[in-house]
Structure formats: structure tokens, C-alpha cells
Structure 1
Amino acid sequence: MDVRAASSPDETLARGRRALLHQSPQVSDEMLTLVQARGSLVWDVNGREYLDCTAQAWSNNLGANDPRVVEAAVEQLRRITHARPTFHTPALLELADLLVGIAPDGLEQVGFTLHGSMAVEMALKLALRNRPGAQHVLTLQDGYHGRSLSTMAASWPHPDNVFGPLQPRFTRAPHPDTYRPRPGLDPEQDAELCLRLLRDTIRKGVDGKVAALIYEPIQGNGGHIEFPALWHAGLRRICDEEGILLILDEVQTGLGRTGSMWAAQHYGIQPDILVFGKGVGGGFPLAGILAHHDLQRFEPGDDQLTFGQFPVAIAAGLATVRAIIEDRLPERATEHGAYATERLLEMQQRHPLIGDVRCPGLMVSIELVTDRATKEPATKEAHQVYLRGLDHGVIFGESRYAGLGNLIKIKPPLDVTHEQLSRALDVLDTVLTEIENGRD
């Protein structure tokens, strides 16, 4: 037995950090150890305050540690902490009823699990249950759907992937990019070309039937790519004509982030299955799917996890969704997003590093480039924005996974105050100026 000698709290934390099997892509001296959070603010172990523009991996659509959520979770803890999936709890049934009530038209069935990757797998299993004999699922290049074995395979290729022997095979189809359309094409022409290529893939690129196409309405981790309107309509049309189920991955965009309760409503998409997660739990692990009423339900044993309907997370989710509705957070996201976009477009005129400004709602980002003509990604500069932001007490989002990393994301909780959002944008303006002027 390893009996640790008496040591300082700092030494204990340092040992614990070295022991962690899951290492962050960030180097250790950049890691924050958080001890408290409230609203859009977090505090580290040294007592320093930060304005969190990541909403902790875009999960706190409702600000962190909202008293309504905390009290609902505590009350549930006092009653029952665990119920196996063959039993129900009142909160489970109330949340199911509430989510179906605010779901896009036709989505009248709901299932729950603990995180987005498992929710995507639930959606895929339901699609295969409803398309017997179909063996293929289509995903989009640059799409991201999780890091379980199957959802990692459904995402863009993992660097140095050693998991291939255990992963299912997905067929990736090209997608349009409004900032980088294919040479000689405008964004709409690029979208039309990709729709033709998608149909060719369905008919000629796979051996057998396709059960489903899964995609994000805005590609989050793959570059915050927003698609032309005709792309969404074209996908629905092709899926209908080819007998394919359309799965919309709204783990990042759902529950008000885009300015509508669902991105499906924002873009007028009619999915057969919608995946939700992150923002639904108010900081507790919760995710799931909404499915069209015509789809056959699961057979016994198809999808059942011991803690898949964790009562504490369900109760927290019920309080969270009620608060999002009562506080009109989608409307607040629209207002904040319009303000942020206006400020960023103005900054773009003064900062050559800003190649593109993206929204909608509080799904806001900027793509940094070293040259606007060539659109060469400014990955080093983006990381400097992140580091300098920390120095100024603001946590900006970035992505360094799989060679990505020239986006700066500004996606705080939807109930961020105007003053806090203004401060974050002021800091961004300052650090961009410092980097462009070569200041240490």
C-alpha cells in the first residue's frame, strides 16, 4: 500500500496532475485548476477570477451553478440518487414531457443518456433498428460527433489512430464551406456541387443501403462552419428520396445557443432524429435524442445503461430547461450575438488577423489568418490570443486537436451580462493589437 508522506496542498495537486491518464492537449503550465464557478465567472485554486467564454465546453447555456439547478439536484439527492433504467422517477417523466413539448415538429419520442457520444450512438442504433438491412451511415468531412470508439470513427480522422480495428466504418461525404468554397465557385455553387457528390456517394460510393446521414447544423469542433440555406434543404430532400434517416447532431447548438431553442428551428431543418447534450444538464452529465413519432422504438436491451437515467442529472436538467424557457435565453443569445458580431466586424476592419466573423446567436467565433488573400490559418497567433486572454482574466475558446486551431470562440453562458460580454471583446481587441504589434 502506498502511504503518502505529509505534503503541502500544492504538492498533492501536482502529484495528482502527473497521475492523470487523460492528458489535455494544453501543456501543464497552462492548465487551470478551478475551484468555484457562478454564472459566467470561474475562479482558480489561487483565487483568481476569469470570465469564461467557453461555458465549460459550451455546456453552461444557463450560467454555472444556477441556484435553481443546484437546489433541484440537492432535493433529488435527498430522495433517491439512483434508479435502474427499468424504473422511472417523476423528474424523468416531467423532463421527457417538457422536451417533447419544445421539440421541433414531429419529434415526439425522447431517450436519455449521460453524454453526447452515447447520445449519438443511441441515434445511430435507432436508425439501424428502423432501417433493417442497411449497413452504412454517412457523415460529413470535418464533422465531429464524439470520442467513443464509434463516434470517433464518425468524426474527422483521428491523428495516429490506433483504434481502427475496433471501430465501425463510416462513409464521409464532402460539404460546402462558405469561407473557403472550392476554386471558381461561390458558396451556393459549392453547396450545389456537394449535394450532387452526396447523391453520387449514396448511389455509387457504398455497397448496400444507407441507414442514416448524421451532421451538425454548424460544424463546431471542425471549424465552426455554417452552411448555406440550400444545403439543409437539399440534405432533407435527398434523404427523403433515397429512404435515408436524417440525424441532426445538436449537442453544441441545442437549447438556445443559436438564438432559437434548436438550430433545426433556426435553419428550418426537419430531422428524423435530433441529438442533444451539453447545455441541457446545467453542468450535470445529461444528453439524449428526440425522435420522430413514426420511428419504431427500441427493442428490450437495444439501449440500456445502468446510470443512463441518473436521477440527479435528470432533476438538474428539468430545472435547467425550465430556466432556459423562463429566462428567455434564446432571445438573449440573439441580442448578445448581434452585439458581439457588430463589435467583431468593426474589429475586422482594424485587425488583419481576423479573416472571418461567424455566428449566429452566442455561437460566435473568428477565424484568424496570416494573410486574407491566401487565408493561411494563423494557428500560433490564435494560441497567443488564448494565453494573453488568460493574462487579462478572460478564457477564450480554441481548438488544437488534429491540427486545427486558428479559431477563437466566444461562447459564454447565454445569460452573460452585457458588461461581461463587452469586457471580453475589449480584451480580445487589446490582445490582437499586442500580437499584431509584436509586443511581449
Structure 2
Amino acid sequence: MIQTENTVTKDLLAKAEKSVLFTARRPEVVMERGEGMYLWDTDGKAYLDFVGGWAVASLGHSPAALREALARQSSTLVHASPGYYNKPMIEFAELLTSVSGMDKAFFASSGAEANESAIKLARKHGAANLNEAYKIITLTNGFHGRTLATMSATGKAHWEKLFAPKVDGFVHVPLNDLDACFAAVTNDTCAIMLELIQGEGGVHEVDEAYLYGLRKICDMYGMLLIFDEIQTGLGRTGKLFAYEHYGIKPDVLTIGKGIGGGFPLSAMLTMEKYDLFEPGDQGGTYSGAPLAMAAGHAVLQELLMLDLAGNAMRQGGYLAAKLAELAGSHPITNIRGKGLLLAFDVPEGAAAALSAICLREGLLVNAPGPSTIRLVPPLIVAQRHIDDMVRILQGAFEQLKAAA
């Protein structure tokens, strides 16, 4: 008996229910393939992707540059142990430090690992240079990952008691409140760590004057200023790194998501003076693995060659303008963000329903909160994709109104 596509999907969903650990409420679709701006499910339905794998698919889905780099590298060396240098590691570190303005790179597999490394480096600096200082100031409503330490650094109120006891030493202060940050500094403070745009928190930006003040505080007390650019880095905001919008450089920079174009990869970058780890202090089985390094190198070269940061700036401006037009006839407010990291508000409680209607109509958008829609499409997005997205979104608003 030949199974229909719908039967195949139902069978796969039943298997998922039985064997995949529940950690998220997922819609009843199974993604099967992707190309460019689109994903297709096992029923053959296409979806215009404005989620981008949570800002991961920087080059779009299944890009040729990534496929070819993985095939080429896998035919020579996949893994050599982090105890040895390998050629792709050295080549990628050289390229990444040259374009970032930083001096040294440590590689990992996820954003949380990169941020863990930054936390460790800050505490190493505190122990070596600040009389054993260990506390790190982070921001309310920020997000730094899902390990115990990065969850402790994250300023989500509903995470406060989750997996208690948390890792000690993190002090949360409100975004853009310089007085609160200054008041939180003590002799035990070794660093300030923040996202320049709070992505998971609903796309909220730092003010330039505030960021300048943080730089001055860190310089005054010898603390590290850490920018978490896991989501904003590598072209997402219209510049290669979000800190370039402000002209304020960090001591430590973390990047992930788009760095591998879909291959698990992240990095922590820092300056020569903070190259402080001793052998055994930091590491990881897959740190600097040749296959990941080849992937990252290929993705970054493609980003630079195609000027995808510039495309993000241009298309982000076009997208924001189209949303502003749509706001004239639909309940869209507070359009915000930079480049292709944008968000807008809808009536309280409507975001999830709107996202579900968009999914049904073949558009993927993200609802990080009950009243917020976030848009993080691949950096290859073109005006025709944005026009299609706005058309589907308009229809979704009309369906939402009719169902009210």
C-alpha cells in the first residue's frame, strides 16, 4: 500500500509524540526541505520563511556555498581533536578577527557556549586583575542562553525560580537605565554583559548615550564590557556587527546563529590583553573542529562577497516602510529594530493566533510574546519576498478580525 503525503505526515507526528522529548509546543507540520527563502513540509506545502531558523539561516536554506564547503572539507578532515591546530581553524580565526576588530577567537557550537566562555573569561579577569571580583551585571528582559549559567545571566522574570538554585553572581538592571547600572557596581563586579538589541525580549534597542555610559563605567573600574551579538552579529542589523552602529567597541564579543548558516557554530572574540585562560580552563570536544570551521569560513566569505549586511539595511528599511503602510489599516504599533531584526506589536494576546494563521497561509513569523511579532528572515531576502509577506500578513489580520 502506497502512503499518501498526508498519511506520511500523520505517521511522523505520531512517532514524534512517542519518541521526541517534549520541550516546546510545535505545530503539526514536519519540515522536509528548504531552498533560499522557502521551506517545504512533508505534504509538499511551501512556507515563506521570515523566522530564518531563529536568525540562523543567514544565507537562506541549503545555500550552495555551505553545501560545497561541507562536502569539500568532509572529504579531507572532519575532526582532529581540539588538542591540535587544524588549517581551517587558523584560516577562519584569521578572517573573523580581521573583520570584527578583535584579536583572538574561541570557537564553540552554540550561542550559550560562547556566552559561557565570556562569563568564564570575565571571572578569570576578575580573579587575576580585580581582587577576585566575580559578579556580572546583565539586563532585565535580556537573553543569553539555556545553560544554567546563561539562564542565570538571562533577565527573564519567569525563569527566576526555574532549575533553582541558579548560578550566583548575576545582577539584573533595566535596559537603558544608566543610574541603575552604576548603582549596581560594587568591588565584586567584573563585567557588564548585554545584547545591543534584545531579540528574544521583543526587539528592544540600547540607547547610544547609555552604551557610551557603560563603556565609561567599565573603563573607570577596569571591568569587561561584553556584547552578546549572538543574534545581531554578522549582518543582521545592517552592519556586519551591531556595535558598529554606535561606534563603541566591546572587550568581549560573542556571535552565533548566522555564523554557520545552519551548521552549529559560535565564537567568543576578545582582545589580546584578555587572552587569560590557562591550559584546562576552557575547551570543548568540538571547539574549532575542521568541518565547522570550513562552514563558518564559507558563510562569512559569502556574507562579505554579497554584501548581505548592506542588503539587510536596504530590505529592512523597505520592510519597515511596508509595515508602516499596513499599520494604517490594521492594528500594528511600535514598529522597531534595525536591519532585518524587526518587530511590531499587535493587540494583547493576539500574536500567537496571528502567527498560527500566517503558518496556515504559508508564512512563518515568530511570536516571542503575547503581543509581539518578530521578523528575522534570511539576509538574502528581496523586495518580492517582502511584498508577498505583507500580502499574507494583511490577509491574516483580516481573518483574525473576522474570527473575533
Identity of aligned residues (%): 32
**Contact preservation (8 Å) 2:39, 2:46:** yes
Matched residue, 1:385 = 354
- CA distance in structure 2 between the aligned counterparts of 1:147 and 1:38, rounded to whole angstroms: 29
For 1:52, which of 26, 49, 53 is the aligned residue?
Answer: 49
How is 1:214-233 mapped onto 2 (pairs within 5 angstroms)?
214-233=193-212
**Contact preservation (8 Å) 1:35, 1:44:** yes
Tell me, which stretches of 5 or more residues in structure 1 are unaligned?
1-7, 177-193, 370-377
- CA distance in structure 2 between the aligned counterparts of 1:140 and 1:201, rounded to whole angstroms: 11
Matched residue, 1:82 = 79
Deviation at 1:12, TM superposition (A): 5.0
Matched residue, 2:125 = 130
**Contact preservation (8 Å) 1:219, 1:226:** yes
| Secondary structure at 1:280 match in 2 | helix
Deviation at 1:348, TM superposition (A): 1.8
Kindly provide the amino acid, as one letter, of the partner of residue 290 in structure 1: L
**Contact preservation (8 Å) 1:83, 1:309:** no
**Contact preservation (8 Å) 1:119, 1:275:** yes
Deviation at 1:13, TM superposition (A): 4.3
- CA distance in structure 2 between the aligned counterparts of 1:300 and 1:330, rounded to whole angstroms: 37
Deviation at 1:91, TM superposition (A): 1.1
Deviation at 1:160, TM superposition (A): 7.4
How is 1:218-297 mapped onto 2 (pairs within 5 angstroms)?
218-297=197-276
Q: Deviations over 1:133-155 (max 9, x none)?
A: 01211110001000011101111
Q: TM-score, normalised by structure 2?
A: 0.93
Matched residue, 1:17 = 17
| Secondary structure at 2:214 match in 1 | helix
- CA distance in structure 1 between the aligned counterparts of 2:286 and 2:158, rounded to whole angstroms: 28
Deviation at 1:116, TM superposition (A): 0.3
Matched residue, 2:58 = 61
Q: Deviations over 1:324-363 (max 9, x none)?
A: 0001000000110110111111222222x21210121011
Matched residue, 2:386 = 421
1:357 aligned onto 2:335: yes
Deviation at 1:33, TM superposition (A): 1.2
Q: Deviations over 1:214-261 (max 9, x none)?
A: 100001111110122211111111111122110000000000000000
Q: Deviations over 1:170-210 (max 9, x none)?
A: 1101223xxxxxxxxxxxxxxxxx2112111114xxxx421
- CA distance in structure 1 between the aligned counterparts of 2:238 and 2:12, rounded to whole angstroms: 43
Higher deviation after alignment, 320-329 or 38-47:
38-47
Kindly provide the amino acid, as one letter, of the partner of residue 430 in structure 1: G
**Contact preservation (8 Å) 1:130, 1:296:** no
Kindly provide the amino acid, as one letter, of the partner of residue 48 in structure 2: L
Matched residue, 2:3 = none
How is 1:101-140 mapped onto 2 (pairs within 5 angstroms)?
101-104=98-101, 107-132=102-127, 133-140=132-139
| Secondary structure at 2:273 match in 1 | coil
Q: Deviations over 1:51-98 (max 9, x none)?
A: 110111110111121111111111111111212111122111111010
**Contact preservation (8 Å) 1:213, 1:244:** yes
Kindly provide the amino acid, as one letter, of the partner of residue 161 in structure 1: K
Q: Deviations over 1:19-43 (max 9, x none)?
A: 21142134xxx24311101111101
- CA distance in structure 1 between the aligned counterparts of 2:178 and 2:161, rounded to whole angstroms: 29
Residues 297 and 32 of structure 1: CA distance in aligned 2, closer, same or farther (over 3 Å): farther
RMSD of equivalent CA atoms: 1.6
- CA distance in structure 2 between the aligned counterparts of 1:137 and 1:228, rounded to whole angstroms: 20
Query: How many residue pairs align between the two structures?
Result: 392
How is 1:99-248 mapped onto 2 (pairs within 5 angstroms)?
99-104=96-101, 107-132=102-127, 133-155=132-154, 156-159=156-159, 161-165=161-165, 167-176=167-176, 194-203=177-186, 208-248=187-227
1:438 aligned onto 2:396: no
**Contact preservation (8 Å) 1:217, 1:249:** yes
- CA distance in structure 1 between the aligned counterparts of 2:116 and 2:224, rounded to whole angstroms: 14
Q: Deviations over 1:238-297 (max 9, x none)?
A: 111122110000000000000000001122221000000000001100001110222133
Superposition misfits of 4+ residues, deviation over 4 angstroms: none
Tell me, which stretches of 5 or more residues in structure 2 are unaligned?
1-6
- CA distance in structure 2 between the aligned counterparts of 1:413 and 1:162, rounded to whole angstroms: 33
| Secondary structure at 2:367 match in 1 | coil
Matched residue, 1:337 = 316
